[in-house]
Amino acid sequence: MVHYESTDRTESLMRLCPDLFTHKTALYVGASHGRQDYTRELHAGGARITVIEAFKPNTEFLKANCPWIDEVILGDVRTVEIPQKYDVVMWWHGPEHVPLADIRPTIEKLEAVTQIVTVTGCPWGNVVQGEVYGNVFEIHATSPR
């Protein structure tokens, strides 16, 4: 039994994909020092976790401070080569960080390396966000609906 923090988001995820935290491999797109939502739950469920992150200081932090993450790849999800297939692929609060024209091809790219389930999440509506802690990848480039 995997323990997870009860939130509306988590309850929605568990309702839509009750087996989410029981798979063996997971690709997680975009993580920082303060945000790696659901990586601990994926790890607790037995997943080997690979993170793709575009901002080098975040990759260095994750490698040094997040032992539940097995591999960290520096790269932009839109252009980085994804090395294998994964049971679970999560692009959680990521689509809003790329231009609208890049969302569909990026999701299709992620689905191509997914064996079981692809999970995406983003803010609903127009949520403005600029550069954060010197990271231009934090800018909300679009508000997908």
| Per-residue model confidence as pLDDT tens digits over 71-129 | 999 999 999 999 899 999 999 877 877 888 998 999 999 999 999 999 987 766 677 77
Give the separation between CA 43 and CA 121, rounded to whole angstroms. Answer: 19
Nearest Cα neighbor of 57 from 141, 139, 132 is: 132
Number of residues written out for the chain? 145
More confident residue, 119 or 143: 119
- Give the domain 24-138 fold: Rossmann fold (3.40.50)
Cβ(85)–Cβ(114) below 8 Å: yes
Torsional sign, CA 7, 8, 13, 19? positive
Would you report the helix, strand and coil content of the chain in percent, each value rounded to 5? 30, 20, 45
Q: Where are the domains of the chain?
A: 24-138
The DSSP code for 81 is: P
3-class DSSP assignment, residue 24: coil
Query: pLDDT tier at 66 (50, 70, 90 boundaries)?
Result: very high
Predicted structure pTM score: 0.85
Task: Give pLDDT, residue 4.
Answer: 47
Asked whether residue 7 carries a pLDDT value surpassing 70, the answer given is no
2, pLDDT greater than 50: no
* CA 52/CA 116 separation, integer angstroms: 19
Residue 139 pLDDT greater than 70, yes or no: no
pLDDT at residue 54 above 50? yes
What gap in Å lies between CA 52 and CA 75, rounded to an integer? 6
Q: Flag whether pLDDT at 3 surpasses 70.
A: no
- What confidence category does residue 8 fall into, taking pLDDT thresholds of 50, 70 and 90? confident
